[in-house]
Structure formats: structure tokens, C-alpha cells
Amino acid sequence: MSVASRAPAHIRSLSPYQPGKPIAELSRETGIPEADIVKLASNENPFGMSPRAKVAAAAALEEGARYPDGNAFALKDALAKKYGVDAAQLVIGNGSNDLLEIATQAFLSPGDSTVFAQYSFAVYPLATLARGARCIQVAAKNYGHDLEAMLAAIDASTRIVFIANPNNPTGTFLPGSEIEAFLARVPQDVLVVLDEAYTEFLPAEKRYDAMGWIARFPNLLVSRTLCKAYGLAGLRLGYSVSHPEVADLMNRVRQPFNASIIAQAAGIAALEDSEFLQKVAENNRHGLARLTSAFTELGLSFLPSSGNFVTVRVGDGAKINQALLKQGVIVRPIAGYGLPEWLRVSIGLPDENERFIAALRKALA
Ligand SMILES: Cc1ncc(COP(=O)(O)O)c(C=O)c1O
């Protein structure tokens, strides 16, 4: 009997997460120089890191031989001040993906279940299955969350409900009032993970303050990231805000040094750089408008998006994706989400968006 066969069945049956294709990989495969490749596949920040975060990261590199502060005192202090929460409510993660994992580690036993929407973030089922727990996937409504159906799907085994708002990969958005009303009806012993990875891209009229609901709903966990709008995807940094009892449990199971010394320093500087954040959001608004008007012109339907990406129906997603790759443009096929006719495209800089539109036009011809 092999050692691999001794791994639990729920681990052996997992399918790994499919990330966006790295630029270097496409360059190796096609011979296209890396500098000529446009990657719009992983919802990364097209401006890179904020200049202030870069300076802080470079300075922190000097301390690279030291362990980071496992309790992330300075970063938590910055977050607590920015959002008016207590440091005891915070958990820091190696990206917000880490927080999703930590939440399942802290709250799921084999046989428990989680509830999430069809066409929602791929890590929810992965993290659930890795704990030997069961997924209750609820049919989407207009490619987004059907909160009424999700509520009805909760059963005695349910420990976590995941809600991504805006959602990835469909970009759909739920008004804050609907989530608040949902929280009022969810059993209080079920943790609701509100994943706000793309919240910084929301226009003012769509914003809501979920952190302010925690006092009323101690079963709410708000998860956020600095990997998208703040541009720290490669450094990995996220945080969650919850009731201190929930944070305490999560802090017991996370790795003691799960946020690097460089990520913590860059994160503190990034949080202060509101000018950069504004520039990023503005570019996103313009880019999203440009891509969607091009889709309309090309006769393609798309899902109205509240994130830094847009999902477009191209017919044969795999074929169009191949044709784009040949032209040095990487986007994200989402057949794995059950959407084989669609491609998800991250918003880039204006010239990257134009490269994509031109390549798409050629691919469709
Ligand atoms: C909805 C959602 N949540 C969480 C994440 C995790 O991002 P990160 O770990 O980079 O913070 C992503 C990344 O794609 C996402 O789309």
C-alpha cells in the first residue's frame, strides 16, 4: 500500500486550485518575450504596488533575517485606527485566502457543512473539502447569490456560510441592506464569512459598513485583502474583522508567522496611501466602461461587474482563450466554475485593455 493511498479520502479527491497562467510560463511556451505579454487573468493591480508600500517593503527587507511580529501589532494598530475596530477583533492572513482557510480550520469538523453560491469563489469548496466537511452549493440567481435560497439551505450541520461581495468570478453585487437582512435571519451559531476582497472598487453609492454590524451579529466575519486594490498580491496580505471570540479561535490555529515582515511593513504604508487607492479605483472605472462598450460593439454579452474584472460570453471559451494566448494575452477561462462559454478579464491599464480588445476582435473573427 502506498503512502499516498493512506491520505484521507477527502484529501485524495481534492482538485487543486487553478491559478491564472503566469507570464513566464506563456513566454516559455510561445517564445513571446515577457515584456510583450499582457496578463489580465488574476485580478491583480495593473499599477503594481503603491510607491509608499514599495519603499516600506524595501526597508523591511533589511530585517529579513528576523521573524515578523507574529501578532502584527503595528499593522493591527493601523487597521484598528482606520476602521474604528479593536485590535482583538483582527486576524492577519497570508492573503485573504489564508483567512478563509483559517476560518474553516477553526470552525469545521468532518461531517459539518458550509453553504455558498454556485459561481462563487473556488476556495470555498476547496477549504471545506480539505476539512472533511460537506459543501452545500446553492443555485445562483442571475449569476449571483440567492440569499433566500442560501438561508433555506442551511441545516443542522452548517457551520459556515460564505458570501463574496462583490462576487468572483461573476462580479455580481448584493446591496448591504440585503446582507444585513440575511444576517438577522441566519442562526446565530452559524459563522457568516463576508468576503469583501473587491470592496475598494465599489463606487460610493454601493458602499456599506459591514464591520459596524458585528456588534449586533457576533457570528459575522468580514474578510478583506491588500492583494487587489492595494497591490500586494505577490507579498500576500489580508485581514479579517470579527467578534473577539471568533478572532481568538482563528488566531489559535493560524501559523504563528503567517504574514511576512515585508508584507506587514508594506501593508501599513499601503493603508495610508489613499491617493494611490483613488487612482486605482478611477482607472478601474474607466477600464471597465471601455471593455464593456467594446463587448457591446462586438455583440458579446457580459455580466455587469462591481469588481476589477468583467466576465464576458465568447461562445467557446477554451478556443477563444487559446487564440488570445497566441497573441500574448492571458485572461481567465472559467469552465472550472461551470461557465465554459465565458472568460473573465481583469481590468488593466488603458494600453493593456486596448491590447486585449484588439486580440479579442481577432480571436472572434
Ligand atoms: C472573492 C475572493 N476572495 C478571496 C480571494 C483571495 O485573495 P488573496 O488571498 O490574494 O487576498 C480572492 C482572490 O482571487 C477572491 O476573488
* Contact call for residues 153 and 137 (beta carbons, < 8 A): no
Pocket of ligand 1 (CB under 6 A): 43, 95-97, 121, 164, 168, 195, 197, 225, 227, 233, 238
| DSSP per residue, 86-131 | -GGGEEEESSHHHHHHHHHHHH--TT-EEEEETTS-THHHHHHHTT
CA distance 222 to 122: 18
pLDDT tens track, the chain, 365 positions: 899 999 999 999 998 888 889 999 999 999 999 999 999 999 999 999 999 999 999 999 999 999 999 999 999 999 999 999 999 999 999 999 999 999 999 999 999 999 999 999 999 999 999 999 999 999 999 999 999 999 999 999 999 999 999 999 999 999 999 999 999 999 999 999 999 999 999 999 999 999 999 999 999 999 999 999 999 999 999 999 999 999 999 999 999 999 999 999 999 999 999 999 999 999 999 999 999 999 999 999 999 999 999 999 999 999 999 999 999 999 999 999 999 999 999 999 999 999 999 999 999 99
Q: Is there a single domain that holds both residue 337 and residue 268?
A: no
Q: Give the C-alpha distances (Å, rounded to integers) separating 83 from 194, 210, 228, 271, 358.
A: 16, 11, 18, 11, 42
Q: Is there a single domain that holds both residue 40 and residue 70?
A: no
Asked which of 241, 272, 303 is the last residue of a domain, the reply is 272
CA distance 305 to 324: 22
Of 121, 240, 334, the one to substitute when testing ligand 1's pocket (max ligand atoms within 8 A of C-beta) is 121
Q: Is there a single domain that holds both residue 122 and residue 245?
A: yes
Interval between CA 97 and ligand 1 midpoint (Å): 6
Q: Is there a single domain that holds both residue 99 and residue 216?
A: yes
Q: How many structural domains compose the chain?
A: 2
CA distance 12 to 206: 42
Q: Is there a single domain that holds both residue 117 and residue 204?
A: yes
**Which of 222, 307, 230 minimizes the C-alpha distance to 264?**
230
Interval between CA 125 and ligand 1 midpoint (Å): 14
Q: Is there a single domain that holds both residue 208 and residue 344?
A: no
CA distance 158 to 34: 46
Asked which of 272, 298, 320 is the last residue of a domain, the reply is 272
Atom of ligand 1 at shortest range from CA of 167: 1
Q: Is there a single domain that holds both residue 264 and residue 162?
A: yes
Atom of ligand 1 at shortest range from CA of 225: 11
CA distance 8 to 64: 37
* Contact call for residues 167 and 152 (beta carbons, < 8 A): no
Q: Is there a single domain that holds both residue 116 and residue 192?
A: yes
Q: Is there a single domain that holds both residue 190 and residue 239?
A: yes
Give the cell for residue 221. Answer: 466575519
Number of Cβ within a 10 Å radius of residue 169: 26
Q: Is there a single domain that holds both residue 279 and residue 358?
A: yes
Interval between CA 31 and ligand 1 midpoint (Å): 30
CA distance 66 to 75: 17
Atom of ligand 1 at shortest range from CA of 120: 1
Q: Which CATH number do you get for residue 26?
A: 3.90.1150.10
What is the domain range of residue 338? 4-47+275-364
**Which of 354, 333, 293, 340 minimizes the C-alpha distance to 46?**
354
Q: Which residue puts its alpha carbon closest to atom 12 of ligand 1?
A: 197
Q: Is there a single domain that holds both residue 311 and residue 331?
A: yes
Atom of ligand 1 at shortest range from CA of 226: 11
Interval between CA 228 and ligand 1 midpoint (Å): 8
Interval between CA 70 and ligand 1 midpoint (Å): 22
First to last CA, the chain: 53
Interval between CA 2 and ligand 1 midpoint (Å): 35
Which positions ≥6 away from 165 have C-beta within 8 Å? 145, 173, 174, 179, 194, 195, 196, 199
**Which of 121, 214, 211, 225 minimizes the C-alpha distance to 172?**
121
Interval between CA 46 and ligand 1 midpoint (Å): 16
Of 44, 126, 227, 235, the one to substitute when testing ligand 1's pocket (max ligand atoms within 8 A of C-beta) is 227
